A and B are shown apart, each in its own frame.
Chain A
Amino acid sequence: MNTIAWYEIFEISGRSLLFALAATLFALLVGVPAGFALGHPRPCGSTLHRLLVSLVGALTALPTVTLGLVLYLLFSRSGPLGFLDLLYKPGLVIFGETLLALPLVIHHLYSGLHRPGDSRTLLLHETLITLGAQGPGYLWAMIREKSPLVWGAATLAFGRILGEVGLVMMVGGNIRFFTRTMTTTIALETSRGNLPEAVLLGILLVAMALAVNILFHWFQQQEEKMG
């Protein structure tokens, strides 16, 4: 029975954390403007808008292996994007995880901005518009005023990404010292019968998720205090 060295456990944990933080950041960069646009307090009410809301809602339940399969078909050597040579590379893993978290971020913001009986969001929107906030100024002010919602979206996205296994396995290939993460290692070690290692990694994964969540909450509280 092969056991994993401590340095490798740290290396895998570090990679998992790095992948998850990078993907969370990218998902927020795209998802926050999209979420605020979709969750506009005075929706245009077009069919396209309603369709987008339904689509984003449906994509939050997207099976990760399905997304993994699509990405695999696109980026495999014979696929239309095969020439980019990204399959089994960390970049594609982060890209896939970003795609996975994106609907969650957008949907979380949309739901938060459309809470029944919440007139404060509309009041904020009207105040910004009437005082002349436009484009980036409007978006930045919205993010600042609705920061608990954005932190919530970040926490949700990070949790979803950190616990991801199917997609990482399919597009990352679980390559040692390259694309192997904590979840794929747990799956591998369990299949090998190395249960103590799998359990240890599982505990580490939960501890890491807890630590990052506490950190996010701390940031949020500091920001509220600075008000």
Chain B
Amino acid sequence: MDMRRKCFLFKDVFFSYASFQNGRRDRIPGTPLPPETFSLSIPYLELECSRPILVEGPNGSGKSTFLKLCGGLLTPRQGSISFEGTPLFPFPSRAPNRSPFVVYVHPTPYLFKGTGRDNLLLPLGWKGVPVQEGERQLAKVISLFNLESLLDRPYWAFSSGEAQRLALGRALLAEPEVLLLDEPTTALDREADHLIDRLLGYAEERGISLMVASHDPLMQRRCTTSLDISRYSSFHISEHQGDFS
């Protein structure tokens, strides 16, 4: 297991979807926000993620937004986010044949055209993993998530739960430093508890840290640390910015 200290550092971070609604991604501090805008404001946060972290909060409190900020998929309007000292904005360009730093798994994942096997092998191709090594990693993930029956099925023939299992396997094959899971068990069946245990075991074995947004009691029990995101978020209803800081 990788014992390095993996840490996200948030400094004066302010994010609002208002910038996207306008089709703009400006980061000008103090720009007035339109009324009824969700925003996330994190003055300072040091997040050690060597143990699985549960991101908590009611619906609409910004769990997905927080995970996407950690994954470099959203850009804050102001402030900085770094992982192990590397700023996430602009998104760090990965050196060829290297794993991505952080991988985010959507609650309703996107499956690429092709079969289940194609979906699993695609990130390995981007990483430049040799075929034999890729097949060895693939075999392990297949047995971990019971994916044998899904390998030759076309992408449009999966149920939500099967797609979720496939996406989890695909993300693990990318071998990131941190895996961000957004409601990973919503579509899973009663086998989910075994799957979660196997996922946590595999991640620990490969040195992959986990950050999970979930309402699943099973997942909540397995995570040793939690972060309540609702204290950082607000639903801005005033015409003047500043009352949420």
Residues of chain A at the chain B interface (Cβ within 8 Å) = 42-45, 120, 123-124, 126-127, 129-134, 137, 141, 144-145, 227
Contacts and interface: CB of A to CB of B under 8 A. Distances in A.
B106 interface: yes
B25 A131 contact: no
A124 B110 contact: yes
A132 B112 contact: no
Contacts of A145: 112-113
Interface in B107-123: 108-110, 112-114, 122-123
Given A120-B110, A227-B113, A130 B126 contact: no
Interface string B81-117: 0000000000101100001101110101110111000
Majority SS at the chain B contact face: loop
Interface of B: 19-20, 22-26, 68, 71-73, 91, 93-94, 99-100, 102-104, 106, 108-110, 112-114, 122-123, 125-127, 154-156, 170-171, 174
Contacts of A126: 68, 73, 104, 106, 110
B112 A123 contact: no
A130 B102 contact: yes
27 contacts: A42-B20, A43-B23, A45-B23, A123-B106, A126-B68, A126-B73, A127-B106, A127-B112, A129-B72, A130-B71, A130-B72, A130-B100, A130-B102, A131-B174, A132-B100, A132-B103, A132-B123, A134-B94, A134-B126, A137-B125, A141-B122, A144-B113, A145-B112, A145-B113, A227-B114, A227-B155, A227-B156
Contact of A132 (B23, B106, B114, B174): B174
Contacts of A127: 106, 109-110, 112
A45 B25 contact: yes
